[in-house]
Chain A
């Protein structure tokens, strides 16, 4: 059974810090790894998708990496801002079209 784990469950940092969120997955037959953001009481917003043939993807201050051999992905957020406060979820697509999600990391950026 596929499992996706995110550590830490919660993180609080001062504004301006660079930070890394971690995601590990057990199924090496991965098509892609997706990162989402979820604000309280809302749905998910897609941030980045890394295909299995890629090592990383960048969008603005966000950079996501993928290491299939170790079963890990990281989301790097540069120069964090209070508006980045949200829950960040990673999800694995192993080709069945649906995603297997981690439980998320709740990020609080203090002004």
Chain B
């Protein structure tokens, strides 16, 4: 079974802090993704990566950056946290071949005070 592990289930940070969200997958997947989920807006793609050190912007990358130094780990960075970044953050991974399902972690509920 694929396991996607997000380092924290709940996180509370202050405005202006630099925040790191970590995601690790154990199935040697090439693709990794960060989404955020907000009521009424659904899941929206922030960034994704299809290989080590590769990254592509999603639909809402502003205020975020990512790092993929190792294949199994994909980090989301909030450079200077703001209250509008309070959200549920979901990490996912998949194989690089066409038509492969995405596998999700349990999410990190982040509150910015």
Q: Which residues of A contact B (CB under 8 A)?
A: 31-32, 34, 36, 41-46, 49, 51, 89, 91, 93, 95, 97-104
Contact = CB atoms under 8 A, between A and B. Distances in A.
Interface residues of B, number: 28
A31 B98 contact: yes
Given A101-B43, A103-B42, A45 B31 contact: no
A93 B100 CA distance: 10
B74 interface: no
B94 interface: yes
A46 B107 contact: no
Nearest to A1: B59
B43 A49 contact: no
A93 to B, nearest CB: 8
Interface centre among B40, B101, B106, B109 (most CB of A within 10 A): B101
A95 B1 CA distance: 25
B84 interface: no
A36 to B, nearest CB: 8
A98 B48 contact: yes
B102 A43 contact: no
A86 B43 CA distance: 16
A103 to B, nearest CB: 4
Nearest to B10: A41
B45 A43 contact: no
Interface string B32-73: 010100001111110010100000001000000000000000
Q: Which 3 pairs of residues, A with B, have the shortest CB-CB distance? A: A43-B104, A46-B101, A44-B104
Given A43-B90, A44-B90, A104-B42, A99 B102 contact: yes
Contacts of A89: 42-43
B90 A101 contact: no
